[in-house]
Amino acid sequence: MSTIRLEHLARVEGHGGITVELEGDIVKNVHFDVFEGPRLLESLIRGKRYDEVAPILSRICSICSVAHTLTSLKATENAFGIQVSPQTVLLRELMFRGESIESHALHLFLLAVPDYLNYPSAIAMAADKPAPVLLGLRLKKLGNRIQETIGGRAVHPVNAVPGGFGKAPDFEQLIALRSALIEGMSDTDAVIDLVATLPAADYCHCDTFYAALRSPNLDSYYAGDEVMVVSNGSRAIVPAADYRSLTNEKSVPHSNARHSTFRGNPFMVGSLARLTVNPRRVTGRLAVAMKRLKLLLPADNPMDNNKAQALELINDIERALEIIEQLLRAGTKDERALPVHPRAGTGTAITEAPRGLLIHSYQYDEEGRIVKADVITPTALNAASLELHFRRAVEQCADREEAVLSKRLQMIARAYDPCISCSVHLVRR
């Protein structure tokens, strides 16, 4: 038996590795190993007052800190029966878009593209090919700017609290953001041009299940509380309250993370899943771009997630602009966060983090202190699917050279854009 082991997965957030065990030509075992130390936050949060929960759980992960914060707030508000104002919903959606723009720009241009073009890093790539790096930095900055303006900070937002916001952005801030976004729009063609010219990456083909949030208007990262699971030929709806049917996880010895399946099938979450589950939103500029990228849904190649991210970058900028226009039309009010009256009960929230479905579920006591908290992250949801795709990639690769395999597996891993610090925070039974 031979073993291929990749100790440190580079250019991902957190610490992980990949192990492949081969017996002759037969793939015995494929592991996605997570070394990130368990921080046990769900358990440490027990007994904390409702207003401490989001700031602490935001620290699960920096790249998804907006998603963690807002999902946490939504779960808390659900538990206490708080209905936030329409302005708050719009501002929160805007924060999600900002985070998605930042995260996709970072992932695509600074972490993934160097793979396709055979550079070890964006820093190295910048010397010969500065354009993609600069493009990525510009878009990243745009996403951060949205997060800073609305959330008060690009990483670990401070402005969003139970019941709303500390302070809504004023007219001047929104106008400034609008000009930045309009400027950002002029970069979207370059995004598609660049991704369209990347060398093909056909490392594995495999029928895949996709799961994403189904929102009222089919296009929200924040509003909505049903998950739809889609595959070639089947679809199923999972309401938020039943989120555990997606997360019948098992602990595995090689990893601090745990693995999820739906009705026994690994499933993929994230950009590609969102486009697959909510296909009707693919219109206009986005549809044209999709044609240029030759993306057919449902896709059978996990590498297509990079294409989906490029498409989402465009969509996110468009949506952010729409939201700002809407806010400007209505005129932002200097709202204070709604008063919070804690009560005993549970609240579950599902949203779309940049990497896919994120679930927070809390049980509170009557004083508004946490009794129990579950956090299910996209990387945890993706882990089983990622291992499946690793396995298929090894099976479908004629060349068993370690260097070749290792590069392919790394690229697949990075296509998933795994966020390992997230993946260790899992369900408490």
Partner 1 sequence: MSKPTVGIFGLTGCAGDQLVILNCEDRLMDIVALLDVRDFLMASSENDTACQLDIALVEGAVTTRRDAARLLAIRQRSKALVALGTCAVWGGVAALDRGQDRARLLDEVYGEGHPDYDSIPAQALHEVVPVDLNITGCPIEKEEFVAAIAALLNGDVPLAVEYAVCTECRMRENNCLLTERGELCCGPLTVAGCGARCPELRIACVGCRGPVDDANSASLVKVFEARGFAPQDIAARLRTFAPQGVTS
Instruction: Write the CA distances from 356 to 62, 130, 164, 221, integer angstroms.
Output: 15, 30, 24, 9
Residues 366-395 binding partner 1 (CB under 8 A) are none
Q: Are 307 and 202 in contact (CB under 8 A)?
A: no
Least Cβ distance, residue 6 to partner 1 (angstroms):
10
- Judged by beta carbon, residue 140 or residue 214, the one nearer partner 1 is 140
The region of 197-205, 285-293, 351-359, 418-426 touching partner 1 under the rule CB under 8 A is 418-426
Least Cβ distance, residue 16 to partner 1 (angstroms):
11
Contact call for residue 12 and partner 1 (CB under 8 A): yes
When binding is defined by CB under 8 A, the residue of 23, 26, 37, 396 that contacts partner 1 is 37
Contact call for residue 69 and partner 1 (CB under 8 A): no
Contact call for residue 42 and partner 1 (CB under 8 A): yes
Burial of 113 (0-12, 13-18, 19+ CB in 10 A): buried
Contact call for residue 126 and partner 1 (CB under 8 A): yes
Buried (b) or exposed (e) across 27-51, using 16+ Cβ within 10 A?
beebbbbbbbeeeebbeebeebebe
Q: Are 59 and 41 in contact (CB under 8 A)?
A: yes
When binding is defined by CB under 8 A, the residue of 22, 137, 236, 397 that contacts partner 1 is 137
The region of 62-70, 178-186, 261-269, 387-395 touching partner 1 under the rule CB under 8 A is 62-70
Least Cβ distance, residue 309 to partner 1 (angstroms):
17
Q: How many CB atoms lie within 10 A of CB 116?
A: 18
Contact call for residue 183 and partner 1 (CB under 8 A): no
Q: Rounded CA gap, 412 and 389, in Å? A: 8
Burial of 339 (0-12, 13-18, 19+ CB in 10 A): exposed
Least Cβ distance, residue 292 to partner 1 (angstroms):
27
Considering CB under 8 A, how many residues would be counted as binding partner 1?
69
Residues 284-343 binding partner 1 (CB under 8 A) are 336
Q: Rounded CA gap, 178 and 320, in Å? A: 9
When binding is defined by CB under 8 A, the residue of 19, 35, 173, 245 that contacts partner 1 is 35
> Phi/psi at 319 (nearest 5 deg)?
-65, -40
- Judged by beta carbon, residue 227 or residue 422, the one nearer partner 1 is 422
Lay out the site mask for partner 1 across 93-122 (x = CB under 8 A, - = otherwise): -------------x---xx--x-----xxx
When binding is defined by CB under 8 A, the residue of 351, 385, 421, 423 that contacts partner 1 is 421
Least Cβ distance, residue 209 to partner 1 (angstroms):
25
Per-residue DSSP letter, 20: E
- Judged by beta carbon, residue 144 or residue 278, the one nearer partner 1 is 144
Q: Rounded CA gap, 296 and 206, in Å? A: 14
Contact call for residue 129 and partner 1 (CB under 8 A): no
Q: Rounded CA gap, 424 and 391, in Å? A: 22
User: Tokens 């002029």 map to which residue?
Assistant: 186
Least Cβ distance, residue 410 to partner 1 (angstroms):
7
DSSP string covering 324-386: HHHHHHH----PPPPP----SEEEEEEEEETTEEEEEEEEE-TTSBEEEEEEE-HHHHHHHHH
Residues that bind partner 1 (CB under 8 A): 8, 10-15, 35-45, 47-49, 52, 55-56, 59-63, 65, 106, 110-111, 114, 120-124, 126, 133, 137-138, 140-141, 144, 152-156, 158-159, 161, 165-167, 251-253, 256, 258, 336, 410, 421, 425-426, 428-429
